[in-house]
Amino acid sequence: GFSWKLPDHPKLPKGKTIAVVVLDGWGEANPDKYNCIHVADTPTMDSLKKGAPDRWRLVRAHGTAVGLPTEDDMGNSEVGHNALGAGRIYAQGAKLVDLALASGKIYEGEGFNYIKESFGQGTLHLIGLLSDGGVHSRLDQLQLLLKGASERGAKKIRVHILTDGRDVLDGSSVGFVETLENDLSQLRSKGVDAQIASGGGRMHVTMDRYENDWSVVKRGWDAQVLGEAPHKFRNAVEAVKELRKDPKANDQYLPPFVIVDESGKPVGPIVDGDAVVTFNFRADRMVMLAKALEYADFDKFDRVRVPKIRYAGMLQYDGELKLPSHYLVSPPEIERTSGEYLVNNGVRTFACSETVKFGHVTFFWNGNRSGYFNHSMEEYVEIPSDSGITFNVQPKMKALEIAEKARDAILSGKFDQVRVNLPNGDMVGHTGDIEATVVACKAADEAVKMILDAIEKVGGIYVVTADHGNAEDMVKRNKSGQPLLDKNGNIQILTSHTLQPVPIAIGGPGLAPGVRFRTDVPSGGLANVAATVMNLHGFEAPSDYETTLIEVVDK
Ligand code: 3PG
Ligand code: CO
């Protein structure tokens, strides 16, 4: 029968304190002025790189290596941390939704049949991120869903859009809204009453995460459900163009708006009898809205009016909370993660980040599972993030505080694994502010130093890696790698993640002298890290895990 017991590693000892450091948004790219990691003063990470090839290498962090549909899909934190923690590659939300749409199975499932009940009398509302970024949602999936739902009886459809500019170029919102408007007018010509009803920028409206700032979700609720917003327009293309005229405006932070008819009435508030689908497949930035839509008892903000609706998520966003209870596509079932194995084999675990990445290094790491496996063996610490600011204003974020917590956990002797996520490269990289991102990278490097110093003191081991690229390339490039210019001759800032590989470094006084990276896993990716860490804890990884990156040679 099944057993959690892991075999002993034939050569590596148990009982070493291991720091597992994930630098968020820290890829490897050519050293030029748009590579903020290169420009920044990063002596710690530079010194780790000198350990190549035995103790530093690159691993794949995008595309099929992390369960995404194609090699054109950049990595992201959800799939990256899933792969790091699970040690295997699972088909991820983006891919699962593609398959369900292609086979038509999405329309046969419980979730679609549930919302379909409302198509006769009610309106179908679709709420989500409008872009082709492929991190949280994809435009082509929305387009297929619009077509499929209207062919299956939806006569009145309202789309509530969230503009992106974070997983795609800033300013691209206009084109996406035009494309959607065009699709909706096609539907109208077929007799479907289809319109955009509301909108706003993703970081200001709806898509908060880890309960950092409920006012973001409330702004969305007011526009989407109540039909109330500070800005009213007759048409969404005009709305986005007009709101972007403010010199400080960008797609990520557009204020909320509603679309109104000729008499000034909102065209699509959500009312009793309607159906609602949140079409993001990724959980972290949709689960807060899902709670507001689904929970009878809800006290995070005053909902004013709670319509009786049939609600389904594109995916189920939280498996333990069973939230939402209806969904169109089943999420990946990630089981037997390295965290659960290690705890069951006596590895006492500490995990820490600040709010904006806390769920990454716990929930995503543990296969989309919240809470502890065994509370007496684990401690997870969340340091509150600054809220209500963009992180270019505070590029150091809480890196120092996270490192101090990790240091103290290492020195306490109470833990065998001390795992952190350092968010700086990613969160500041997403602002597109190059100078601030340089400061961010330096702060992350200093945090790594503090953690490695503590490992040095206790005779431990470190594993330093990243979840995907971001800060190493801040400019959109053409196929041959040249920076692209906009029509005014300015470079096009890349706020998104990248397709770049990420580094992994191992070391520390506790590392057995003969340990080195194997040369026979050249295409190794993030999913190979779990087996590697298990080995360093003195265990063999389960046989279905992606292979370890290390070997032990006699010294
Ligand atoms: C976000 O949600 O902030 C971005 O879309 C993706 O960033 P992450 O994958 O690094 O969280
Ligand atoms: Co990111």
Whether 166 is in the pocket of ligand 1, judged by its Cβ within 6 Å, is: yes
Query: pLDDT digit string (tens) for 521-552?
Result: 999 999 999 999 999 999 999 999 999 999 99
Angle at 131 between CA 524 and CA 325, to 5 degrees: 80
In a domain, 528, yes or no: yes
Known catalytic membership, residue 103: no
Are 195 and 149 members of one domain?
yes
Q: Calculate how far, in angstroms, residue 332's C-alpha sits from the geometric centre of ligand 2.
A: 21
Are 222 and 136 members of one domain?
yes
Q: Calculate how far, in angstroms, residue 420's C-alpha sits from the geometric centre of ligand 2.
A: 16
Are 221 and 164 members of one domain?
yes
Can you tell me the mean pLDDT for 281-287? Answer: 98
Q: Cβ neighbours of residue 464 under 8 Å, at least 6 residues apart?
A: 19, 21, 23, 45, 48, 448, 452, 503, 504, 505, 506
Check whether 431 has a pLDDT greater than 90. Answer: yes
Q: What is the CATH number of the domain that holds 524?
A: 3.40.720.10
Whether 426 is in the pocket of ligand 1, judged by its Cβ within 6 Å, is: yes
- In 319-433, which residue ranges form alpha helices assigned H by DSSP? 338-344, 355-359, 399-412, 424-429
Residue 427, token pair as written in the block: 């969160």
Q: Cβ neighbours of residue 264 under 8 Å, at least 6 residues apart?
A: 232
Three-class secondary structure of residue 345 per DSSP: coil
What's the residue count for the chain? 555
* Longest pairwise C-alpha distance within the chain: 82
Secondary structure (DSSP) of 15-52: ---EEEEEETT------STT-HHHHS--HHHHHHHTTT
Are 56 and 107 members of one domain?
no
In a domain, 8, yes or no: no
Ligand 1: nearest atom to the Cα of 360: 11
Q: Cβ neighbours of residue 121 under 8 Å, at least 6 residues apart?
A: 273
Phi, psi of 492 (to 5 degrees): -90, 115
Distance from C-alpha of 422 to C-alpha of 417, rounded to nearest angstrom: 16
| Closest ligand by atom to 77 CA | 1
Catalytic residue, from 3, 47, 77, 131: name it.
Answer: 77
Are 500 and 473 members of one domain?
yes
Place of tokens 């939402």: 324
Secondary structure (DSSP) of 311-323: EEEEE-SBTTTTB
Are 396 and 288 members of one domain?
no
Cα distance from N-terminal residue to C-terminal residue, the chain: 38
Q: Calculate how far, in angstroms, residue 177's C-alpha sits from the geometric centre of ligand 1.
A: 21
Q: Are β-strands 502-507 and 56-59 bridged in parallel, bridged antiparallel, or unpaired?
A: antiparallel
Q: What is the pTM of this model?
A: 0.96
Residue of the CA atom closest to atom 2 of ligand 1: 285
Instruction: Quote the distance between the C-alpha of residue 20 and its chain's center.
Output: 19
In a domain, 9, yes or no: no
Whether 137 is in the pocket of ligand 1, judged by its Cβ within 6 Å, is: no
Which strand (E) or helix (H) includes residue 101? helix 93-103
Ligand 1: nearest atom to the Cα of 164: 5
Which pLDDT band holds residue 406 (cuts at 50, 70, 90)? very high
Q: Cβ neighbours of residue 495 under 8 Å, at least 6 residues apart?
A: 165, 166, 169, 170, 252, 429, 430, 431, 432
Distance from C-alpha of 126 to C-alpha of 277, rounded to nearest angstrom: 5
Domain ranges, residue 507: 20-91+334-552
Check whether 486 has a pLDDT greater than 90. Answer: no
Query: pLDDT digit string (tens) for 89-140?
Result: 999 999 999 999 999 999 999 999 999 999 999 999 999 999 999 999 999 9
Can you tell me the mean pLDDT for 160-165? Answer: 98
Whether 82 is in the pocket of ligand 1, judged by its Cβ within 6 Å, is: no
> With pLDDT > 70 as the criterion, what percentage of the chain qualifies?
100
Global ipTM: 0.99
Whether 167 is in the pocket of ligand 1, judged by its Cβ within 6 Å, is: yes
| Closest ligand by atom to 75 CA | 1
Residue of the CA atom closest to atom 6 of ligand 1: 76
Q: How many domains are contained in the chain?
A: 2
Average pLDDT, the chain: 98
Amino acid 107: pLDDT: 98
Amino acid 487: pLDDT: 86
Whether 285 is in the pocket of ligand 1, judged by its Cβ within 6 Å, is: yes
Which pLDDT band holds residue 555 (cuts at 50, 70, 90)? confident
Amino acid 438: pLDDT: 98
Are 107 and 213 members of one domain?
yes
Are 63 and 103 members of one domain?
no
Of 329, 345, 364, which marks where a domain is finished?
A: 329
148 sits in the region (left: phi over 0; alpha: psi -120 to 50; else beta) called: alpha
Q: Under a CB-based contact definition with an 8 Å cutoff, are residues 332 and 91 in contact? A: yes
Can you tell me the mean pLDDT for 158-185? Answer: 98
Distance from C-alpha of 77 to C-alpha of 521, rounded to nearest angstrom: 23
Are 83 and 119 members of one domain?
no
Query: Nearest CA to 212 among 3, 20, 397, 447?
Result: 397
Single-letter amino acid code for the residue at 140: D
Ligand 1: nearest atom to the Cα of 470: 10
Query: pLDDT digit string (tens) for 256-272?
Result: 999 999 999 999 999 99
Q: What is the CATH number of the domain that holds 128?
A: 3.40.1450.10
Place of tokens 């806390």: 358
In a domain, 133, yes or no: yes
> With pLDDT > 90 as the criterion, what percentage of the chain qualifies?
98
Check whether 388 has a pLDDT greater than 90. Answer: no
In a domain, 7, yes or no: no
